[in-house]
Structure 1
């Protein structure tokens, strides 16, 4: 059978083109190596400078001491230890394949490790008398900020270099159905991965002979030919896109491809999004592939809850005069109660009662709920203002204080909406693996309001799942700030 696709990217390459590809790859690989050395060198110098000037400025401004030279060895030691930890953990070399936040926060973790080791060392060697606690704190803070800023800047510079072709982050070969290869290639391109060739999935057969192990998979000649064709391409990675029926053959192919000096990946078709959050992890005395994980650890939940309680109490105190004014205005504007309760899905898909200032002439709930559209006649005159300014959401601070909502999280939908979209969007209910929020990542990016098309809801769900998979307290603070100052928050508010 023919295993080479008919796309132009997968046609047979002439010898001259292969040789040229090797030369280009070597040139780009050299530029990448030079860039990584430059990244490491820049970070080394800036960390040493930051540690030195933090100590010097503290002693000059606070202690009025100008003995500057004695902090040079310590600053170089801190910088050297950080460099050794970063190189040892391959943080620089993985800049090609890891997202921005991983590259940045791995540096932050290294800083914490280095200063823990540094403090322990000077204590054990009994040389800590010359070092005040304030000096160490000043150096740690300055180095921490320096590493975060340096890595953020370098990562932002790397992406244009990849996009322009100056640096080829990773060269990959795809093996699988042409349509699957095309979609995967487009997705990989966004992250700087370049598909240099694609092949059809070859065949394999199960060896049922007596001498072979039961169920052993034996590669057919076309697999060996495929390996031979991949060898001169000098790829960095080979990705096997497999279906459920081809898993056994994919394992045989991966075994055959192990003869090549490349990273081999197996990606189940239809599970790319799920595999994106999968990790190989230790489970007891076994190694497993953790496909899904609880988004927040008990410690993280405690931190998020403490922040919610403190912020909601402060918020209720600050806006209490506004509560009185809005309540009187609602009573004067139209007949009906001040507050509106609506049943929505909360954490673990459990129903909760969400509070809002009443902005409509009706009290629709459950299956009777109909989403608000632009110029909806059910919305009162005051209600339009409250909805445009998001003031109608303020009573949900009581939900946060009660514990069935959070300040930040996926916005809860009416139960009828949830049930309708859950049948159309995969992993829809994964939004409820955390508490719903008054504001969220989708809302500050403009994905709120009417969901009259499936695409609008899909985009909202994508942002919600991104928030769940990348939660941090700093991320929550960023979303809260954007809620107050971003114009996107007020888009589609009606």
Structure 2
């Protein structure tokens, strides 16, 4: 609870410093460009602050960066600034007339101030620990790769006040040169070296040894941290939560809930609405072409699994002369005779997927997410691929990480489907607003024409 409270104070301090950084950036930009500082300036300031803070909350920008490299923190900082300026510039087009150069200057200054603040914090922290000798000597106990990685990561983050001095094995006959000793020598090491903290990586093979070790450590003043080695499992957004004082670890969950769910829904509605307005003439032309090309309806309504595996109706332009939607569905293959001439163009350019923006407006699909598969394919592959159904922890999408990574089109081998599912689960595990923006951008850039689409 105390560490969570400390993290909260740090987050508040970071947010306050970010507000100051935005203020100074805008002040300098407006002064150097001789722009009036009036109510419009105040509105711009409040808008950028609100957008940046909202994006920061959604992308976990204000989480604890302890133990995370400066490079990754600065990259995250630049991404958040870029998205903030892009959104504000888009709003500016409709409501104000501030020149693009002003936004570029603001972008550069924000990177300077926000990035400089974070570099300064790390330098001050490092100087503090060196000057006042407050660095904690820590050791790691565990035999798995997770323990070795933890020891390595602690060594890269000495600015946080942790100084790793050894890694110990639970095995009496260990033969790895990386280890400093086995668990029987830990207490002696604590007494001789003044160890302040111990990280114990626990798994199903050493539970009894951990229990015995904790009894021994109770006779010391050393802080002890338990790390469950659960990373061999197919986890989705695992984290530690608190239920009335009881620590719980969700192993299979998603980031898209609460405020994140609201933000993603707003993203979907805004993007889909704009797209539908823009492409409405194209939809009309495609509908006429389908009608003139072959007999049958313009739209094909497919039964697919949606959020939490519940059946939904997904809309597509009809591209085949037959309409399979039963217990057995054959995927389209190269030169498939069922595909019409117009349908071949639509499938090759992905234009047959455009009606799914109506699904997004209805709320049973998202712009970005795992692509919905035929029910027959779901039932087939859920028996062959462990964790297959976890892709339905979020709404299906019009485009997804698997598609921009090249895993679209026919999945004629199990390996291809496994690669697609890996991408889907990676998306669910790492989702944030910036990832959605990246996938949308890559889809627009080179996602319309694909040789794998038949």
- TM-score, length of structure 1 as denominator length: 0.58
Instruction: List aligned pairs for 1:281-292, cutoff 5 A.
Output: 281-292=241-252
Residues 231-275 of structure 1, C-alpha deviations (whole Å, 9 max, x = no match): 99x9x98663522x642333334665797989755434675442x
- Kept in 2, the 8 Å contact 1:445–1:489? The answer is no
Q: Indicate which of 297, 319, 337 corresponds to 2:257.
A: 297
Q: 1:445 corresponds to which residue? A: 405
2:300/2:318 contact within 8 Å kept: yes
In the TM superposition, 1:53-452 aligns within 5 A as 54-62=26-34, 93-96=66-69, 100=72, 104=76, 144-146=110-112, 175-176=142-143, 181=144, 199=169, 201=171, 223-225=183-185, 240=201, 242-243=203-204, 246-253=206-213, 265-268=226-229, 271-274=232-235, 277-452=237-412
Q: Secondary structure at the match of 1:367?
A: coil
Residue 366 of structure 1: CA displacement?
Answer: 2.9
**Is the CA contact (8 Å cut-off) linking 2:349 and 2:449 kept in structure 1?**
no
The answer for unaligned runs of 5 or more in structure 1 is: 1-45, 66-88, 113-136, 155-170, 204-221
Cα-to-partner distance string for 1:382-431 (whole Å, 9 max, x where unaligned): 22221111101001111112221111111111111112222233332222
In 2, the alpha carbon distance for the partners of 1:350 and 1:242 equals: 35
C-alpha distance 144-279 of structure 1, shift in aligned 2 (>3 A):
farther
Q: Distance in 1 between matches of 2:383 and 2:141?
A: 32
Distance 2:32 2:281 in 1: 48
Instruction: Please identify the structure whose Cα radius of gyration is greater.
Output: 1
1:190-220 per-residue CA deviation (whole Å, 9 max, x = no partner) reads 9999x997856469xxxxxxxxxxxxxxxxx
Any conservation in 1 of the 2:242–2:248 contact (CA below 8 Å)? yes
Distance between the aligned counterparts of 2:234 and 2:73, measured in 1? 18
1:145 Cα shift? 4.0
Gaps of 5+ in 2: 1-17, 38-61, 85-102, 121-137, 157-163, 174-181
Cα 1:91–1:374 change in 2 (3 A) is: same
- CA gap 1:58/1:292 in 2 versus in 1, 3 angstroms: same
Q: Could you tell me how far apart the structure 2 residues matched to 1:466 and 1:191 are? A: 25
Does the 8 Å CA contact 2:237/2:254 hold for their aligned counterparts?
Answer: no
Aligned residue in 2 for 1:6: none
Deviations 1:20-45 (A, max 9, x none): xxxxxxxxxxxxxxxxxxxxxxxxxx
Query: 8 Å contact 2:168–2:186 — kept in the other structure?
Result: no
User: How many Å separate the matches in 1 of 2:294 and 2:152?
Assistant: 55
* Structure 1 partner of 2:130: none
> SS of the residue aligned with 1:341?
strand
SS of the equivalent of 2:338 reads: coil
TM-score, normalised by the number of residues in structure 2: 0.63
- Superposed CA RMSD in Å reads 4.9
**Secondary structure in 2 matching 1:490:** coil
Deviations 1:345-381 (A, max 9, x none): 0011100111111112221113121122233332222
After superposition, what is the alpha-carbon deviation per residue over 1:298-354, rounded to whole angstroms, capped at 9, x for unaligned?
Answer: 333233223322322222222122122212222333333221111110011100111
| C-alpha distance 457-239 of structure 1, shift in aligned 2 (>3 A) | farther
Residue range with higher mean Cα deviation, 430-439 or 290-299? 290-299
- 1:152 & 1:484 partners in 2: Cα distance? 34
What's the CA shift string for 1:456-484, capped at 9, x where partnerless? 22332232223223333333222211110
CA deviations on 1:177-199 (whole Å, 9 max, x unpaired) are: xxxx4698699999999x99785
- Show the counterpart of 2:126: none
